[in-house]
Chain A
Amino acid sequence: MKQDGVKRWVAVIGNPNAGKSTLFNALTGLRQRVGNYPGVTVEKRTGTAFTLHGEAIELIDLPGMYSLLPQSPDEKIALQVLRGESPGVPRPDGILCVVDASNLERNLFLVTQVMELGVPVLVALNMVDMAESRGVRLRPQELSEKLGIPFIPTQAHRGKGLVELRAALGQTLLHPGPRQWTMPPPLAVAVGQIAAAWRDSLPAEGRAEGKALELLAGSDVGPEGARKLAQAWRERFRKEAYDWSAAVVHARYEYVRNVLGEAGMIGGTRVASWTDWIDAIVLHPVAGWGVLAAMMVSLFVSIFSIASYPMEWIDSGFTWAGQLLESQMPAGILRELFVNGILAGVGGVVIFLPQILILFFFLGLLEDSGYLARAAFLLDRVMHRVGLSGKSFIPLLSSYACAIPGIMATRTVEDPKDRLTTILIAPLMSCSARIPVYTTLIAAAVPVALVPVWGKAVALLGLYALGTGTAFFLAWIFRKKMLGGGSPPLILELPPYRCPAFQTVALRMWERALIFLRRAGTVILALSILLWFVSSFPKSSEDESINLAGSYAGQLGHWMEPVIRPLGFDWRIGIGLVASLAAREVFVSTMSIVYHVGGEEGGLVAAMRGAAWPDGIIIYSPLTCLSLLVFYVYALQCLSTVAVAKRETGGWGWPAFMMLYMTGLAYFAAWMVQIVGHALGF
Chain B
Amino acid sequence: METQDVAGEGYSLDLTQVGAGTEVRVSRLECPPQTCQRLREMGFCENALVTKIRGGADLVCWVCGTRVALSARLAKQILVEHVDGRS
Within 8 A of A (CB), among B3-48: 31, 33-43, 45-48
Residues of B contacting A285 with CB < 8 Å? 56-57
- Contact pattern, B 63-75, Cβ under 8 Å of A = 1, otherwise 0: 0111111110110
The answer to whether the Cβ of B82 comes within 8 Å of any Cβ in the partner chain is: no
Within 8 A of B (CB), among A435-478: none
Q: What is the distance, in angstroms, from A133's C-beta to the closest C-beta of chain B?
A: 12
Q: What is the distance, in angstroms, from B78's C-beta to the closest C-beta of chain A?
A: 11
B74 and A489 contacting across the interface, CB-CB below 8 Å? yes
Which residue from chain A places its CB closest to the CB of B29 in the assembled complex? A246
Q: What is the distance, in angstroms, from B62's C-beta to the closest C-beta of chain A?
A: 5
Residues of A contacting B43 with CB < 8 Å? 105-106, 253
Residues of B contacting A66 with CB < 8 Å? 38, 41-42
Interface size class of A (residues with CB under 8 A): 35 or more
A249 and B64 contacting across the interface, CB-CB below 8 Å? no
Q: What is the distance, in angstroms, from A391's C-beta to the closest C-beta of chain B?
A: 10
Residues of B contacting A105 with CB < 8 Å? 43, 64-65
| Residue in contact with A246 in the complex, picked from B35, B46, B66, CB distance below 8 Å | B46
- Contact pattern, A 276-302, Cβ under 8 Å of B = 1, otherwise 0: 100110010100000000000000000
Within 8 A of B (CB), among A254-287: 268, 270, 275-276, 279-280, 283, 285
Of A195-203, A341-349, A356-364, A376-384, which stretch is located at the interface?
Answer: A376-384
Which residue from chain A places its CB closest to the CB of B46 in the assembled complex? A250
Which residue from chain A places its CB closest to the CB of B58 in the assembled complex? A380
A381 and B57 contacting across the interface, CB-CB below 8 Å? yes
| Residue in contact with B60 in the complex, picked from A384, A414, A494, CB distance below 8 Å | A494
Residues of B contacting A71 with CB < 8 Å? 34, 37-38
Which residue from chain A places its CB closest to the CB of B39 in the assembled complex? A491
20 more contacts with CB within 8 A, not counting A268-B65, A275-B67, A491-B35, are A69-B37, A69-B41, A106-B43, A109-B41, A134-B65, A243-B36, A246-B36, A246-B45, A253-B45, A253-B48, A270-B51, A270-B62, A279-B67, A380-B69, A384-B71, A489-B73, A490-B70, A491-B68, A495-B66, A495-B67
> Cα distance A38–B45 when bound, in Å?
21
> Cα distance A106–B62 when bound, in Å?
12
Residues of A contacting B51 with CB < 8 Å? 270
> Cα distance A491–B43 when bound, in Å?
12
| Residue in contact with A279 in the complex, picked from B35, B45, B54, B66, CB distance below 8 Å | B54
| Residue in contact with A380 in the complex, picked from B40, B54, B71, CB distance below 8 Å | B71
Decide: A283 near B54, CB < 8 A? Known: A270-B62, A494-B67: yes
Residues of A contacting B54 with CB < 8 Å? 279-280, 283
> Cα distance A216–B72 when bound, in Å?
32
Residues of A contacting B70 with CB < 8 Å? 489-491
Decide: A106 near B58, CB < 8 A? Known: A489-B35, A489-B70, A494-B69: no
Decide: A491 near B38, CB < 8 A? Known: A106-B43, A253-B45, A285-B57: yes
Decide: A279 near B60, CB < 8 A? Known: A249-B40, A491-B42: yes
Q: What is the distance, in angstroms, from B38's C-beta to the closest C-beta of chain A?
A: 6
The answer to whether the Cβ of A663 comes within 8 Å of any Cβ in the partner chain is: no
| Shortest 4 CB-CB contacts between residues of A and residues of B | A489-B74, A103-B65, A490-B71, A494-B67
Which residue from chain B places its CB closest to the CB of A381 in the assembled complex? B57
With most chain A CB atoms within 10 A of its CB, the pick from B43, B48, B51, B57 is B43
Interface size class of B (residues with CB under 8 A): 20 to 34
> Cα distance A586–B71 when bound, in Å?
43
B64 and A492 contacting across the interface, CB-CB below 8 Å? no
Number of A-B contacts (CB under 8 A): 113
B58 and A377 contacting across the interface, CB-CB below 8 Å? yes
> Cα distance A376–B71 when bound, in Å?
11
Q: What is the distance, in angstroms, from A429's C-beta to the closest C-beta of chain B?
A: 22
A283 and B41 contacting across the interface, CB-CB below 8 Å? no
Residues of A contacting B56 with CB < 8 Å? 285
> Cα distance A489–B38 when bound, in Å?
11
B64 and A106 contacting across the interface, CB-CB below 8 Å? yes
B40 and A283 contacting across the interface, CB-CB below 8 Å? no
| Residue in contact with B45 in the complex, picked from A250, A377, A491, CB distance below 8 Å | A250
27 A–B pairs (Cβ distance < 8 Å), ordered by A: A66-B42, A69-B41, A71-B34, A105-B64, A106-B41, A106-B42, A246-B36, A246-B37, A249-B41, A250-B45, A250-B46, A253-B45, A275-B67, A279-B53, A376-B69, A390-B71, A488-B35, A489-B31, A489-B70, A489-B73, A490-B74, A491-B35, A491-B69, A491-B70, A493-B66, A494-B67, A494-B69
Which residue from chain B places its CB closest to the CB of A245 in the assembled complex? B37
Q: What is the distance, in angstroms, from A69's C-beta to the closest C-beta of chain B?
A: 6
Residues of B contacting A275 with CB < 8 Å? 67
Residues of B contacting A191 with CB < 8 Å? none
The answer to whether the Cβ of A389 comes within 8 Å of any Cβ in the partner chain is: yes
B69 and A490 contacting across the interface, CB-CB below 8 Å? yes
Decide: A377 near B64, CB < 8 A? Known: A276-B53, A490-B74: no
> Cα distance A104–B66 when bound, in Å?
10
Which residue from chain A places its CB closest to the CB of B44 in the assembled complex? A491
| Residue in contact with A104 in the complex, picked from B45, B60, B65, CB distance below 8 Å | B65
> Cα distance A199–B65 when bound, in Å?
40
Q: What is the distance, in angstroms, from A320's C-beta to the closest C-beta of chain B?
A: 53
Q: What is the distance, in angstroms, from B2's C-beta to the closest C-beta of chain A?
A: 22
| Residue in contact with A245 in the complex, picked from B33, B47, B48, B53, CB distance below 8 Å | B33
The answer to whether the Cβ of A67 comes within 8 Å of any Cβ in the partner chain is: yes
The answer to whether the Cβ of A373 comes within 8 Å of any Cβ in the partner chain is: yes
With most chain A CB atoms within 10 A of its CB, the pick from B35, B41, B54, B56 is B41
Q: What is the distance, in angstroms, from A259's C-beta to the closest C-beta of chain B?
A: 14
A246 and B62 contacting across the interface, CB-CB below 8 Å? no
Residues of B contacting A106 with CB < 8 Å? 41-43, 64-66
Residues of A contacting B45 with CB < 8 Å? 246, 249-250, 253
B69 and A492 contacting across the interface, CB-CB below 8 Å? yes
Residues of A contacting B66 with CB < 8 Å? 103, 106, 493-495
> Cα distance A480–B44 when bound, in Å?
30
Residues of B contacting A268 with CB < 8 Å? 65
Residues of A contacting B47 with CB < 8 Å? 250
> Cα distance A493–B68 when bound, in Å?
4
Residues of A contacting B53 with CB < 8 Å? 276, 279
> Cα distance A249–B41 when bound, in Å?
7
> Cα distance A496–B74 when bound, in Å?
23
Residues of A contacting B73 with CB < 8 Å? 489
Which residue from chain A places its CB closest to the CB of B51 in the assembled complex? A270
Which residue from chain A places its CB closest to the CB of B36 in the assembled complex? A246
> Cα distance A246–B48 when bound, in Å?
13
With most chain B CB atoms within 10 A of its CB, the pick from A270, A275, A491, A493 is A491
> Cα distance A493–B38 when bound, in Å?
12
Residues of B contacting A283 with CB < 8 Å? 54, 60
The answer to whether the Cβ of A399 comes within 8 Å of any Cβ in the partner chain is: no
Residues of A contacting B57 with CB < 8 Å? 285, 381
The answer to whether the Cβ of A102 comes within 8 Å of any Cβ in the partner chain is: yes
Q: What is the distance, in angstroms, from A353's C-beta to the closest C-beta of chain B?
A: 36
Within 8 A of B (CB), among A232-246: 243, 245-246
Residues of A contacting B34 with CB < 8 Å? 71, 414
